[in-house]
Each structure stands twice: as structure tokens, then as C-alpha cells.
Amino acid sequence: MSLSNSKELNGKLGVLVVGLGAVTTTFITGVLMTRKGLAKPVGSMTQYDKIRVGKGADKKYLHYKDIVPLAELDDIVFGAWDVYPDNAYESAIKAEVLKEKDINPVKEELERIKPMKAAFDKSYAKRLAGTNVMEGMTRWEMVEQLRKDIRNFKKETGVERVVVLWAASTEVFVPVDMDIHGSLEALEKAMKADDKERIAPSMCYAYAALSEGAPFIMGAPNTTIDIPAMWQLADKTKMPIAGKDFKTGQTLVKSGFAPIIGTRCLGLSGWFSTNILGNRDGLVLDEPANFRTKEVSKLSTLESILVPENQPDLYGHGNDDDSQYYHKVRINYYPPRNDNKESWDNIDIFGWMGYPMQIKINFLCRDSILAAPVCLDLVLLTDLAARAGRYGIQRFLSFFLKSPMHDYSKKEVPVNHLFQQYVMLKNAIREMGGYEADEEID
């Protein structure tokens, strides 16, 4: 849908983030520093990437903002919820991602961002012990309070629109139960019955956001909006949803490198991935039930790129039952590294006549430095989608996500191939700018 038929770009954009930890404070600080001309938003597609529009003599390469009306960084107003009461400045200092000299120039603005009380259930994140939480509330009461928070934020800041972004920790794995998650009516009934086992706190945030006319982005691998009930709510409220799990380090490498193996028709017998991470996310993921949620997300990337059924000679051997390559993912909590994550990938491939070879990838990355531009792009593009009248699952945002949302109830297979995802992104920008979507995904 073209922006010519959509809401005009006017007023401020409110960005309400769930979680005011390392990722969020790095994101906010970077935006504020960029606004002052003191930093560059490196890694952000919306700020740097150019897309071809038109063909032949009409061909042009334009920044996104020259194709579609993106919100300006100057027009963003931040707010947050968090289980800890620290303001954004205190949290940024404690996170130890950025140096103080890169935080202090925007200290006053950061200090004004004080987190609202979080909708929190300790059984979903046992390693966290925050005090800034809603006490004694049922799931439905949490929803009502969150809706009130969003309305108050809009009123107090005067923003025209709001996007809600989850950048908090990974919750305990919640299996999809179609009796509860299969319809909006059943979900609402479970919320009102205070079903704590099958209604995660994150679902309260998503429900509240969509009900208040705010798009919702899930930046963790939580089940949250990956259920038919939320798709129905997004359809009902005509709001975009996007998720799940920011694609930052190891999975970014995997979604970009696996296509090399597939395109070159090399075989794969095994891919072992392991990580060490020491920030709050690493602490939470040290709990097996929380890691299970992340594991499902990280494992899903490879299987839709290198498919044994399509190429049994190349990808049909290696695991215990010899039906496909062996794929294992590990995350280990290691406090000395803090936000500086290190990942290792050992890839066992084979070539002509089955002769084995190995590839080793060692990525020493900074988790929040990679996640911050992804947060910015997701927020700006989801706001754009809302104004363009796009609602429901935003598949074109798969480029930024580890485990892209898809309608599994109709056996839809998600696109995890990085370069196919990039085509989806470019085509959506073209369409919203009134140009032809002129690249094939095949």
C-alpha cells in the first residue's frame, strides 16, 4: 500500500520500550547523541541504506527517507517500563556498554526517562529481582494498567503516535496452546481468569499496545505475539506486529553465511554454535527454561535455508537418525564479558566426492551495539507500516529478526535467508513509496 493513501507524517513519535537495560539505553543514548551531532547511527539501514527505484533511464538509488516519509530522529520521544527503578542515565552507566564520555553529553535527557512500573512475574524470569513492579495484579489488571500508562504517556508528552518495543529479557518458554492462544476470545478469557501459566507478562504488553492503537515489536524470542489470538487482535485494531528476537550477532552471521553453502551446492554434516555473554540477558538465559525459548529461536534459522527435503544428498545426513545435518546451539553465562558477547561456529561441510572440510567463525561482538540500530529501524519502519495502513504480521521486517513471524497454522515457512529477506524489505519500501516491487524472491 502506498503512503499516498495513508496518514500523513505529523507530530512526534512516542517510543515506549519494555526494559531499560543495556540494549535500550544504548539505543536511546545513540539516538540522542546523533541528534546533537555527536555520534553516527552506524548499522542503521533506515539512516544509511539506499534502494534502487525505477529501471533503465529512470533508475535512482535513494535513501529510505527519500522514498517514504520516515519519522525524523528529532521527533522521537522515549519512555520505558522496567523492573528496576533506575532512570535511563543510571541504567546506561550500570550497563557499562558505552563509555561515560559518550553518555554524559545527554545526561539530563536520559535522567528524565524514568521507568514506569513493570508488569512482571518472577516465575518468567527467576534471575531478576526488581522492585519497580506492579504488585498483586491479575493479568487483566496488568493489561488495564499498561493501557493507562500508554494513554498517560501520550497525554504528558503530546506525541501523535506510539510504538511499543520489547527489549527486555527472554521469558520462560510458553508452548502454544490453541485452546488458549488460538482465538482472541479465548485469550481474553484466560487473561480475565488470571491464567498465569499460559499468559506471559509480555502478552499483557502486546495486548495493551494493540488495544491502544500502538504497533508492537517483540525483540525477544518469547511466544507473545506469535499466536493466532494476537494476529486476530492486530487485524481487529488494524495495527502492525513484528517479531521475534533481534537478529544481531551469531544468527546474523548464520543467515548470511548459510546461503553461501546452499548457493555453492556444498554439503553440510554439522553446525555447532556456542556463545558466552555476561549481561542481564546472559544471566536470565542461564536459567534452562529461559534458554529453551532462545534455543527454539536460534535453531529455526538454519533449517529453512538448508532444507534436507530439497537436497537430501547435501543436507540429509549427520544427526542421530541420519535425516539431516547435526545442529546444536549453546549460550553460556560468563559475567567477566558483560555485554561483549563472543560466539564460535564450527561448520563441518563436505564437497566433491564427499570429502570433508571445516569452517570456523569467531565473532567478538558487542550485543547492544548491534541491537541498537535494529531497534531504531524496527521502530521507524513499523510506524511507517502503520501509517501506510499495513496491519498484522509484517513479514518485510524479517531481515531484522532471528525467528520471523509467519502463519504456521497454514503451514507457511518463514524466510530466513538474509538476502531474500533484504529483497522483501526493499520491495515493501518501494511499494509504500508508490514504486513497483520489482525484485523476485526465489
Domain with 269 in it: what CATH number?
3.30.360.10
Q: Between β-strands 340-350 and 267-277, what pairing exists: parallel, antiparallel or unpaired?
A: antiparallel
DSSP state of 441: -
Shared domain check, 190 and 62:
yes
Does some domain include residue 188?
yes
Q: Which residue has the cell 499498561?
A: 146
Domain with 146 in it: what CATH number?
3.40.50.720
Shared domain check, 180 and 37:
yes
- Domains: count for the chain: 2
Helices assigned H by DSSP within 279-342? 280-285, 288-303, 312-315
DSSP 243-265: ESSB--SHHHHHHHHHHHHHHTT
46 and 377 Cβ atoms separated by less than 8 Å: yes
Q: Which of 332, 366, 400 is the last residue of a domain?
A: 366
Q: Label each residue of 408-438 as H, E or C.
A: HHHCCCCCCCHHHHHHHHHHHHHHHCCCCCC
96 and 58 Cβ atoms separated by less than 8 Å: no
Letter string b/e over residues 350-377, b meaning 16 or more CB atoms within 10 A of that residue's CB: beeeeeeeeeeeeeebbbbbbbbbbbbb
Q: One digit per residue, pLDDT tens: the chain, 442 residues?
A: 555 444 568 899 999 999 999 999 999 999 999 999 999 999 999 999 999 999 999 999 999 999 999 999 999 999 999 999 999 999 999 999 999 999 999 999 999 999 999 999 999 998 888 999 999 999 999 999 999 999 999 999 999 999 999 999 999 999 999 999 999 999 999 999 999 999 999 999 999 999 999 999 999 999 999 999 999 999 999 999 999 999 998 999 999 999 999 999 999 999 999 999 887 777 787 787 777 776 776 677 899 999 999 999 999 999 999 999 999 999 899 999 888 989 999 999 999 999 999 999 999 999 999 999 999 999 999 999 999 999 999 999 999 999 999 999 999 999 999 999 999 999 999 999 999 999 988 7
Shared domain check, 110 and 67:
yes
Domain limits for position 65? 3-246+369-432
Q: Which residue has the cell 488470571?
A: 194
Shared domain check, 341 and 328:
yes
Does some domain include residue 441?
no
Shared domain check, 312 and 220:
no
Shared domain check, 395 and 293:
no
Q: Which residue has the cell 560466539?
A: 343
Give bridge partners of residue 347 from the DSSP assignment: 271, 359
Does some domain include residue 442?
no
Shared domain check, 239 and 149:
yes
Instruction: Give the per-residue pLDDT at 9.
Output: 80
Helix (H, G, I), strand (E, B) or coil at 442: coil
Shared domain check, 288 and 394:
no
The Cα angle at residue 247 between residues 60 and 154, in degrees rounded to 5: 80
Does some domain include residue 440?
no
Rounded distance between C-alpha atoms, residue 245 and residue 414, angstroms: 14
Shared domain check, 88 and 127:
yes
Shared domain check, 282 and 217:
no
Does some domain include residue 439?
no
Q: Which of 335, 366, 397 is the last residue of a domain?
A: 366
Q: Which of 366, 389, 412 is the last residue of a domain?
A: 366
Does some domain include residue 428?
yes
Does some domain include residue 193?
yes
Does some domain include residue 178?
yes
Shared domain check, 231 and 280:
no
Shared domain check, 238 and 282:
no
379 and 268 Cβ atoms separated by less than 8 Å: no
Rounded distance between C-alpha atoms, residue 185 and residue 182, angstroms: 9
Rounded distance between C-alpha atoms, residue 219 and residue 226, angstroms: 12
DSSP state of 321: T
- Beginning with the edge strand found earlier in the chain, give each strand of the sheet holding 326-333 in spatial order: 326-333, 267-277, 340-350, 356-366
